[in-house]
A and B are shown apart, each in its own frame.
Chain A
Amino acid sequence: MIRNVVLVHGGFVDGSGWLGVHRLLTADGFTVKIVQNPTLSLAGDAAATRFVLDALDGPAVLVGHSYGGAVISEAGTHGNVAALVYVAAFAPDKGESVDTLIADPSPGDPVPPILAPRDGFLFLDRDKFHGSFAADLPADEAAFLADSQVPWGVEALAGTVTEPAWRTRPAWYLVSTQDRMIPPHAQRAMAARAGAVTVEAIGSHAVYASQPGAVADLIRQAAGSADH
């Protein structure tokens, strides 16, 4: 049984959104580490993740939300990674980046309210944050997230994955069915391509914070079946 879990957050937010998942998994006796990846570049975030992985005493489940999926795809080839869990996340193939994956939206896909870059950083429109990012969180929590946004570096979105870990590691995927940031159909297709075992949860893009139970369940499954 794997006892380590490493959580990687996505763009616009920091690691504090993992509080609920952390609480549930530590109560089960897991050692849980949260990567505070700066989201300036994919290489930098992968390095921040490897830094945490290096310090573990054994195999881990590596979990990524949203852009964190690109990070775990890149850093997940680390020797301490036994399984990958994608939570409403990007799962780029070799040579793909978040940019290439969102380049060609289908007609009818919701358009994330991302503002024009300012000095190389992206922000979400504060007023549309609740509806687009976190519709299933209470309004005050969504407002707090909107006001505490972490600037997301355009370089991070452009960073291409060199050797996708999902090609060699078992993967699990949680699809959020009411996601208005990454359309569910894109999530399902990335999950299938990665050969991931897929579970669906009715929730917004902020499912990692709004439904910690569903996320923790999937991580437990991954820890149980992908022993090291």
Chain B
Amino acid sequence: MEASGSFAGMLRSQRHRVGLTLEELAEASGVSTRALSDMERGRALGPQRRTVLLIADALKLEAAGRAEFVALAKAGRARSAYLAAAPGLCELPGSIGDFTGRAAELAWLYRLAEEPVDGPHVAIVSGGAGLGKTTLVVRAAHGLRDRFPGGVLFVDALGMSRRPVASDELLSRLLRALGVRTQHIPDDAAEKAGRYRRLLSERQVLVIVDDAQSEAQVRPLLPGDGRSLLLVGSRRLLSGLEAARRLHLDPMPVPDAQDLLGRIVAERFDPRDEDLTGLVELLGGLPLALRIVGNRLISRPGWSAADLVDRLSAAERRLEQLSAGDLKVAAAFGMSYEQLPAATRQMFRRVSLVAGPDFGTALAAVVGDVGVHDAEDQLDDLVDLSLMGTAEGGRYRFHDLVRLYAHQRLEVDEPSGTVTAVRDRMVAWLLETMTAAGLWFEPDGAQSRFASAEEADQWLRVESEHWLPALGAAALAGRHDAVVRATSALHWYSDRWVDWPRWAEVFMLGHDSAERLGDPGRQAEFLNYVAWTHTLPWRDKRNVLPYAERALALARAAGDLLQEAWALAYTARALGPLGEAAAAMTAVLQAADLFEQAGDVDASCQAWIERGDLQLRLGDPDAALASFRRAQQTVDDPASGMTTTIADYTRPHVLIYLGKALGVSGQAEAGRAMMQQALDILEREQQPLEYAVALQALAALYDDGAVEARDNLLRAAELYDNAGLPDAAARMRAAAAEHGPAPR
């Protein structure tokens, strides 16, 4: 066999062996073409066992070949225990092979997809927990694939979780999946939605939003006119969405439920077995419960359906002491739970302590107190029994009814001391891991635990729903050293993820713990980070001042020059845009002085640039020129002590500023030469947006009506268009028009 030792290689060779195209394999396995193609190219991190088995079935792999195939897939996963695929592919999950019933509902959805409509085309499938909404919607989407050549996109809105996904984030994911690059996705919510609607009107796309929470969450995702369709699954009716067509799911009718159970257990039971009917009566028409019980039945060869009926009735009686949820469902869960090996049972109940909507094997291993491989095996067993679901990127997710059940088992089956100990261990592990991840981005930070900076970055993003609450819990438990260590390790990293709205909360926790520890220098440092979060372009600059002011006082008390300088620099950065250039100037001069005393060349250079900018605003171009030249010397002098990467990044900006200042002081030609240098660098560095900014600055150095000014603005407009920023492009075109009509 030419399996070449990799899952990707074996998948490809086995597909060729049976003579299937990617599309045919997708059809046969229910796994999407894109997912298969990613797996063959080694791009998929680690397909779930269930997916691997679906593919193995479709490839008709048996015995040894099958075992090797599964083992290779698993080896691929083990390497990525920390890592999850970035959400944003919006991959449609595979459809369940033994899907049964719901024929009328499917027909309704298929018919709806064909109907011409005026206005947005929207359908909502609503219904209670465990009725199989997701399964139905996914099944329908697979059936409708051909009808939507523009693609089928699936997003999980996590509506029943504690923290549903914001519509803004859903839009970003969908835009990425529609091929818009991350850096080209507009920040502005309205612009984002506009771009999404335009793409949907140009193509024919099926968008599925599963587990939607509310009208407000879905509304920005409505398509405009065109032939795209939005399909929403929700536990709620979402009656506020006026134009939508609605389908409400009820429990399955008894014959369908019987049929479903019969199919699940077909390899061992006669579907007409009367005891199966008894089971259906006990469970009601809830597919989730039927699936869990059915899987239990076939994994216990010694049992008959009659045994199960007896046990289930007993379980239902036993469960009467448990309060939450539907008793029948809880009994079905109990059936499976009680037959699990002790270690898997422990894993099942303990992962209910995880706060976020989904989790990876590494965190599960910590709460389960087992190795990562064991955790993975246990979780996979739970997935096979339908007690656990899977999420994007090889992660796991509870159905919320099952989670409720698991949590109740935790309370009944573990002493409360254990629960506290498990929580503490989880908190400690999250803090240690976030510290290790953050240190990857600190200058001279240790590089441990993760294989690469990208992996550390991914972990911090994906696990933020877990580590931020852990920080709070650690602070309440008085573990201030650990809190300070963890938050301070994130300082440089926060610069890589500036659009995360919660940095101020993180750094305030660091500040509070530093205060508990009696460390004013550290307090000042954290307050400066908080101030920084408010200096970001889309934030209200007024909020910078109180934090910077307090940081300044603390830094002075602690005799910390560098933090004093930063507090002043942030004050200046806020005062400038607030129209207080003179006060800002005072602050920036003091900051520059202190940076120099403290010997921080990088910051010093930045202060010179800011000083020049303020001098320009205050109408003193000569002084500004001197400041920018000073910055330029620092950037260009290899012996200045400036960090090379920062100098390289800063150089074109200094040139642009110099060009501007020269223009204002009547030396337009010299200014244009500076701009040209900046443009050359930016072109080499492939920074199209910065390039557009420089073009705009260059245009300002020509006289009104100059052809060059108009051309530069039109080129900038083109770049903005390519970057998916139509509003900026329109502004450029309008400015260009003021220099005369565009060439034909």
Residue of A nearest to B423 (CB): A93
Asked if B14 is an interface residue, CB under 8 A from chain A, the answer is: no
| Distance to closest chain B CB from A200 (angstroms) | 8
Most buried by A among B355, B469, B473, B505: B505
Q: Scan A176-212; emit 1 where CB is below 8 A from any B CB, else 0.
A: 0000000011101111111100101010000000000
> Is there an interface contact between B515 and A108, defined as CB atoms closer than 8 Å?
yes
What number of A-B contacts does a CB cutoff of 8 Å give?
83
For A168, the chain B residues whose CB sits under 8 A away are 162
Chain A interface extent, by class: 20 to 34
Q: How far is the CA of A227 from the CA of B215 in the complex (A)?
A: 7
| Distance to closest chain B CB from A197 (angstroms) | 8
Q: Scan A160-171; emit 1 where CB is below 8 A from any B CB, else 0.
A: 000000111111
For A170, the chain B residues whose CB sits under 8 A away are 162-164
Asked if B123 is an interface residue, CB under 8 A from chain A, the answer is: no
Q: How far is the CA of A167 from the CA of B411 in the complex (A)?
A: 15
For A117, the chain B residues whose CB sits under 8 A away are none
Q: Could you list some 11 contacts between A and B, CB below 8 A?
A: A107-B516, A108-B515, A168-B162, A185-B513, A188-B509, A190-B472, A192-B505, A192-B509, A202-B546, A225-B216, A228-B236
> Is there an interface contact between B516 and A227, defined as CB atoms closer than 8 Å?
no
> Is there an interface contact between A193 and B476, defined as CB atoms closer than 8 Å?
yes
> Is there an interface contact between B515 and A188, defined as CB atoms closer than 8 Å?
no
Asked if B696 is an interface residue, CB under 8 A from chain A, the answer is: no
Most buried by B among A167, A193, A195, A202: A193
For B215, the chain A residues whose CB sits under 8 A away are 1, 227
> Is there an interface contact between B509 and A227, defined as CB atoms closer than 8 Å?
no
Q: How far is the CA of A182 from the CA of B349 in the complex (A)?
A: 34
> Is there an interface contact between B475 and A185, defined as CB atoms closer than 8 Å?
yes
Point out residues on A near B: beta carbons under 8 Å.
1, 95, 101, 104, 106-108, 166-171, 184-186, 188-195, 198, 200, 202, 224-228
Q: How far is the CA of A56 from the CA of B164 in the complex (A)?
A: 24
Asked if B295 is an interface residue, CB under 8 A from chain A, the answer is: no
Q: How far is the CA of A62 from the CA of B92 in the complex (A)?
A: 37
| Distance to closest chain B CB from A173 (angstroms) | 9
Q: How far is the CA of A227 from the CA of B465 in the complex (A)?
A: 21
Q: Contacts A167-B162, A192-B505, A195-B163 given; indicate if A1 touches B216 (C-beta within 8 A).
A: yes
Asked if B471 is an interface residue, CB under 8 A from chain A, the answer is: yes
Asked if B128 is an interface residue, CB under 8 A from chain A, the answer is: no
| Distance to closest chain B CB from A225 (angstroms) | 7
| Distance to closest chain A CB from B222 (angstroms) | 15
Residue of A nearest to B164 (CB): A170
Q: How far is the CA of A104 from the CA of B479 in the complex (A)?
A: 13
| Distance to closest chain A CB from B705 (angstroms) | 49
Task: Count chain B residues whose beta carbon lies closer than 8 angstroms to a beta carbon of A.
Answer: 31
Q: Contacts A106-B516, A227-B214 given; indicate if A193 touches B164 (C-beta within 8 A).
A: no
| Distance to closest chain B CB from A144 (angstroms) | 30
Asked if B97 is an interface residue, CB under 8 A from chain A, the answer is: no
> Is there an interface contact between B476 and A189, defined as CB atoms closer than 8 Å?
yes
Point out residues on B near A: beta carbons under 8 Å.
162-164, 166, 213-217, 236, 240, 355, 416, 465, 468-469, 471-473, 475-476, 478, 505, 508-509, 512-513, 515-516, 518, 546
> Is there an interface contact between B472 and A191, defined as CB atoms closer than 8 Å?
yes
> Is there an interface contact between B472 and A169, defined as CB atoms closer than 8 Å?
no
> Is there an interface contact between A195 and B468, defined as CB atoms closer than 8 Å?
yes
> Is there an interface contact between A195 and B465, defined as CB atoms closer than 8 Å?
yes
Q: Contacts A167-B162, A186-B476, A225-B166 given; indicate if A192 touches B512 (C-beta within 8 A).
A: no
> Is there an interface contact between A195 and B505, defined as CB atoms closer than 8 Å?
no
Q: Contacts A186-B476, A195-B465 given; indicate if A227 touches B216 (C-beta within 8 A).
A: yes
Known: A1-B216, A190-B472. 10 other contacts (CB 8 A): A108-B518, A185-B475, A186-B476, A189-B473, A189-B475, A193-B476, A200-B508, A225-B166, A226-B214, A228-B236
Q: How far is the CA of A107 from the CA of B465 in the complex (A)?
A: 30
Q: Contacts A1-B216, A193-B472, A228-B236 given; indicate if A198 touches B505 (C-beta within 8 A).
A: yes
Q: How far is the CA of A87 from the CA of B349 in the complex (A)?
A: 33
Q: How far is the CA of A190 from the CA of B512 in the complex (A)?
A: 12
Q: Contacts A193-B469, A224-B216, A227-B215 given; indicate if A104 touches B475 (C-beta within 8 A).
A: no
Interface pairs A-B: 4 shortest CB-CB = A227-B214, A192-B472, A185-B512, A193-B472
Residue of B nearest to A223 (CB): B216
> Is there an interface contact between B216 and A190, defined as CB atoms closer than 8 Å?
no
For A108, the chain B residues whose CB sits under 8 A away are 515-516, 518
| Distance to closest chain A CB from B232 (angstroms) | 13
> Is there an interface contact between B512 and A184, defined as CB atoms closer than 8 Å?
yes
Q: How far is the CA of A107 from the CA of B472 in the complex (A)?
A: 18
Q: How far is the CA of A190 from the CA of B516 in the complex (A)?
A: 16
> Is there an interface contact between A194 and B469, defined as CB atoms closer than 8 Å?
yes
- Which of B213, B478, B508 contacts A227 (CB under 8 A)? B213
For A198, the chain B residues whose CB sits under 8 A away are 505
For A227, the chain B residues whose CB sits under 8 A away are 213-217
> Is there an interface contact between A104 and B478, defined as CB atoms closer than 8 Å?
yes
Residue of A nearest to B476 (CB): A189
Q: How far is the CA of A227 from the CA of B218 in the complex (A)?
A: 11
For A189, the chain B residues whose CB sits under 8 A away are 471-473, 475-476, 509, 512
- Give chain B's interface secondary structure class: helix
| Distance to closest chain B CB from A103 (angstroms) | 11
Q: How far is the CA of A190 from the CA of B476 in the complex (A)?
A: 7
> Is there an interface contact between A192 and B515, defined as CB atoms closer than 8 Å?
no
| Distance to closest chain B CB from A143 (angstroms) | 29
> Is there an interface contact between A192 and B214, defined as CB atoms closer than 8 Å?
no
- Which of B217, B240, B469, B516 contacts A192 (CB under 8 A)? B469
> Is there an interface contact between A195 and B162, defined as CB atoms closer than 8 Å?
yes
For A101, the chain B residues whose CB sits under 8 A away are 476
| Distance to closest chain B CB from A131 (angstroms) | 21
Q: How far is the CA of A200 from the CA of B217 in the complex (A)?
A: 25
For A104, the chain B residues whose CB sits under 8 A away are 478
Most buried by A among B214, B216, B476: B476
Most buried by B among A167, A171, A186, A189: A189
| Distance to closest chain B CB from A96 (angstroms) | 9
| Distance to closest chain A CB from B356 (angstroms) | 8
Q: How far is the CA of A144 from the CA of B164 in the complex (A)?
A: 43
Q: How far is the CA of A170 from the CA of B468 in the complex (A)?
A: 15
| Distance to closest chain A CB from B169 (angstroms) | 12
> Is there an interface contact between A185 and B515, defined as CB atoms closer than 8 Å?
yes
For B546, the chain A residues whose CB sits under 8 A away are 202
Q: How far is the CA of A63 from the CA of B241 in the complex (A)?
A: 28
| Distance to closest chain B CB from A69 (angstroms) | 14
Q: How far is the CA of A198 from the CA of B509 in the complex (A)?
A: 12
For B472, the chain A residues whose CB sits under 8 A away are 188-194
| Distance to closest chain A CB from B275 (angstroms) | 36
| Distance to closest chain A CB from B297 (angstroms) | 32
Q: How far is the CA of A193 from the CA of B509 in the complex (A)?
A: 11
Q: Contacts A167-B162, A170-B163, A185-B516 given; indicate if A192 touches B475 (C-beta within 8 A).
A: yes
Residue of A nearest to B473 (CB): A193
For A228, the chain B residues whose CB sits under 8 A away are 214, 236
| Distance to closest chain B CB from A196 (angstroms) | 9
For B162, the chain A residues whose CB sits under 8 A away are 166-171, 195
Q: How far is the CA of A171 from the CA of B240 in the complex (A)?
A: 23
Residue of A nearest to B501 (CB): A197
Residue of A nearest to B478 (CB): A104
For A191, the chain B residues whose CB sits under 8 A away are 472, 505
Q: How far is the CA of A170 from the CA of B158 in the complex (A)?
A: 12
Q: How far is the CA of A167 from the CA of B240 in the complex (A)?
A: 27
> Is there an interface contact between A188 and B217, defined as CB atoms closer than 8 Å?
no
| Distance to closest chain B CB from A153 (angstroms) | 25
| Distance to closest chain B CB from A156 (angstroms) | 21
Q: How far is the CA of A202 from the CA of B546 in the complex (A)?
A: 10
Q: How far is the CA of A108 from the CA of B523 in the complex (A)?
A: 15
For A190, the chain B residues whose CB sits under 8 A away are 472, 476
| Distance to closest chain B CB from A167 (angstroms) | 7
Most buried by B among A101, A170, A227, A228: A227
Residue of A nearest to B475 (CB): A189
Residue of A nearest to B355 (CB): A195
> Is there an interface contact between B355 and A192, defined as CB atoms closer than 8 Å?
no
Residue of A nearest to B238 (CB): A227
